[in-house]
Amino acid sequence: MSATIDVEETLQPIPESQRTTRISGQFWIWAGANIAPINWVLGALGINMGLGLADTLIVLVVGNLIGMGLFGLFVLLGQRTGVTGMLLGRSVFGRRGNYLPSAIQALVVIGWCAVNTWIVLDLVIALLGQLGWLDPTEHNYGWKIAVATLIMAIQVAVSLAGYKAIAAFERWTVPPTVIVLALMSIVAWFFLDIDWTYAGPADGILTGTERVVAMSAVMTAIGIGWGITWLTYAADYSRFVSTAVPKKKLYLASALGQIIPVIWLGVLGASLATKNGSVDPGQLIVENYGALAIPVLLLVLHGPIATNVLNIYSFSVAAQALDLKVGRKKLNVLVGVLSLAAAVFFIYSEDAATTLDAWLVGVVGWVATWGAIMLVHYYLFEKNSTSFGHLFDPVGSKRLPDLNGRAFVAFAAGIVFTWLFLNGMVPALQGFGAKALGGLDLSWLAGGLAAGLTYYLLSRTSHKKWMALQQAPTHTAESASEPVVVS
């Protein structure tokens, strides 16, 4: 009897025999990734930036419905192709040209691991202070680094076991955290003094153009922006779903797994922030849930772990798309070490809101650009393709361009237009277009449209050549002709 091949240790197609017909795992994976403190912090961010509660909730709900709707399209790509998100880029950017987006994604994942770990440390320290274990008024750098190390070790351990372990972890640990979250919501919305009519800070309620500008900035950070930040991850997990599963069921299970907790926690964070306008998770939670310190602490610790097991796993497959001859498990350990180092850096940062906003808008700029190009390619140019074995061809394959200059022109156009219409809290992230519009932030829209339209116009005829070559027999690196550069 032959042994089962570990299809996750190195990049290779997921055979139908090793795919699952259960879609509940997809729901729990994405729900678990979003039942995390960062989402109530994101909800509070709108209040912190001067918006009223109603405006914050409108942006949160409408933005995420759109963003998660796009996310569902990338989930279906994973099921259809059986490959990871970064591997899909080989048909678009070229066999070696795809190294750039893969490297960007690997770095972004390290940052997310660090941010998700760092964002809960003040809250953990505040809760431990509530229990009398330490003085929460001190810096407690040693305690924070120790907690960050513990969290990182747990999430690396879970990720090492692969997709099945991740799915099982989310399926069994998320329901209890939902119960804790429900209790927190009941306490907040029925027993705390939430100002449901909150319209903004008393010393400066936003009106007119200022209000629209602020809503556009929050839309980029926590509305559509938050939804599309998951586009690069979607296929990494849906590739394990059988093609026999109806697309509609998979789409809804995955999109709802994202939408429900994001909106729920966002509403909770925003409503709590009406009491003091703070985005600090320690102030948001400990000042309101002192008596529930233990269950809330468990929810807080579970949050980054449930999110970062996905980040760590996705780092490994993004790194493998760089042709690194390193197994997935070793890459998991590497990202844990690098992310912990980045988390320690964040521990010493001063302004949480500015740091978080700068990080979010930076990620949104890259994903909106990449995502628009990928949508044009796979939903217009290759909408009828059914064979994707060429994506696993070695460097030098005649079935893939080595470097697709047209895709890079489109990518550059998307990044430039994203910055032009960006209005972040950091001066360097405030473009000329946004300034000319009085601060209106349309970065995600401008960048996505510029990238997608440019790629379509430049590639609408040339892509047919490569689609024909993709159906040719596999060529090895030794037998292939010289790599082709598409300019």
Cα 372–Cα 375–Cα 377 angle in degrees, nearest 5:
110
Reported as a single tens digit per residue, the pLDDT across 11-40 is 777 888 889 998 988 999 999 888 877 787
237-241, 334-338, 478-482, 483-487: lowest mean pLDDT where? 478-482
What does the pLDDT look like over 70-86, one tens digit per residue? 999 999 999 999 999 99
Please name every residue paired with 430 in a beta bridge, in sequence order, or none if there are none.
Answer: 423
Q: Which CATH class is domain 18-486?
A: mainly alpha
Give the C-alpha separation, 353 to 376, whole Å: 34
Write the single-letter amino acid at 431. Answer: G
Q: What is the pLDDT of residue 101?
A: 95
What span, in angstroms and rounded, lies between the C-alpha atoms of 364 and 13? 29
C-alpha torsion sign, points 91, 94, 95, 96: negative
- Pick 406 or 123 by higher pLDDT: 406
CA nearest to 376, candidates 448, 471, 447, 484 = 448
- Distance, CA of 277 to chain centre: 26
pLDDT at residue 247 in the model = 95
Residues 195, 118: Cα–Cα separation, whole Å: 29
Among 221, 286, 137, 254, which residue's Cα sits nearest to residue 423? 221
The tally of CA atoms less than 13 A away on the side-chain side of residue 339 is 35
Q: Which range among 123-132, 359-368, 386-395, 476-485 shows the weakest confidence by mean pLDDT?
A: 476-485
Please give the average per-residue pLDDT across 388-412, as a whole number: 92
Q: In sequence order, what are the beta bridge partners of 486? A: 404
Give one DSSP letter per residue of 6-19, joined into a string: -TTTS-----GGG-
pTM: 0.84
What is the Cα–Cα distance from 267 to 182, expressed in whole angstroms?
Answer: 13
pLDDT of residue 479: 35
- Cα–Cα separations (whole angstroms), residue 241 to 10, 19, 26, 357, 411: 18, 5, 9, 34, 30
Average pLDDT, the chain: 83
Answer whether residue 482 shows pLDDT above 60.
no
Give Cβ neighbours of residue 12 (< 8 Å, ≥ 6 apart). Answer: 5, 392
Helical ranges in 287-327 per DSSP H: 293-320
With bands split at pLDDT 50, 70 and 90, how would you rate the model's confidence at 345? confident
Q: Nearest 5°: CA angle at 225, between 344 and 202? A: 85
The CA distances from residue 244 to 8, 19, 80, 383, in Å, are 21, 10, 10, 18
The pLDDT value recorded for residue 46 is 83
Residue 322: partners with Cβ closer than 8 Å, 6 or more residues away:
99, 102, 103, 106
Check residue 2 and give its pLDDT.
Answer: 37
Going by C-alpha positions, the residue among 225, 289, 228 that lies closest to residue 46 is 225
What's residue 434's pLDDT? Answer: 85
φ, ψ of residue 384 to 5 degrees: the values are: -105, 5
Place of tokens 């197609």: 13
Classify burial at 237, counting beta carbons within 10 Å of its beta carbon; exposed 0-12, middle 13-18, buried 19 or more.
buried
* Confidence at 353, pLDDT banded by 50, 70, 90: low
- What is the chain's length? 487
The two tokens of residue 133 are 């274990």
Burial of 208 (0-12, 13-18, 19+ CB in 10 A): exposed
- Whether 286 contacts 123, CB under 8 Å: yes
pLDDT band for position 106 (cuts 50, 70, 90): very high
User: What mean pLDDT is predicted for residues 309-337?
Assistant: 87
Q: How far apart are CA 291 and CA 412, in angstroms?
A: 52
Maximum average pLDDT range among 61-65, 195-199, 248-252, 267-271: 248-252
Structure tokens at 34: 């979003």
Which one, of 390, 334, 357, 402, lies nearest residue 113 by Cα? 334
- pLDDT of residue 355 exceeding 70, the answer is no
- Which tens digit of pLDDT belongs to each residue from 205-233? 777 788 888 888 788 777 888 888 899 99
Measured CA angle at 197 (ends 195, 203), to 5 deg: 85
Q: How far apart are CA 369 and CA 365, in angstroms?
A: 6
The pLDDT value recorded for residue 475 is 44
Q: End-to-end alpha-carbon separation of the chain, Å? A: 49
